[in-house]
Amino acid sequence: MRRREVLKCLFDIAEACDALAEFVAGRTRDDYVANRMLRSAVERQFMIIGEALRQALQLDASLADSISETRRIISFGNRLIHGYSLTDHDIVWGVLEKDVPVLRREVAILLEDPGP
């Protein structure tokens, strides 16, 4: 059984992925660019994902075998925090469309089978 702290981090990632899906449902990239509040909400969820994944990996490095692109995910969150002025809306929207669904599926599998 995975440690409780690791499961909490995974749950937080799943919740952030679900929030992202909810925030952008029925919206376009142009809607995202035009809406400051939406951009802020989306970026906040990516920051949560990056930090929760960083903490989870510190507690259980084997998660890197089950979650694609862990370093890239953490780096993306850090870039939004520390390089906020360089945020590229096309990259953020691309991650929303392509990468978040994959991450959500991978985390769901880990939460369903809590492992050793």
The H or E element spanning position 32 is helix 29-34
Q: What pLDDT was estimated at residue 87?
A: 87
Q: What pLDDT was estimated at residue 114?
A: 61
Is this prediction's pTM over 0.85? yes
> What are the boundaries of each domain within the chain?
4-112
CB distance 10 to 17 below 8 Å: no
At 69-95, the pLDDT tens digits run 999 999 999 999 998 778 899 999 999
Closest-CA residue to 90 (of 5, 32, 25): 32
Residues of the chain short of pLDDT 70, as ranges, are 1-2, 114-116
Q: What pLDDT was estimated at residue 113?
A: 79
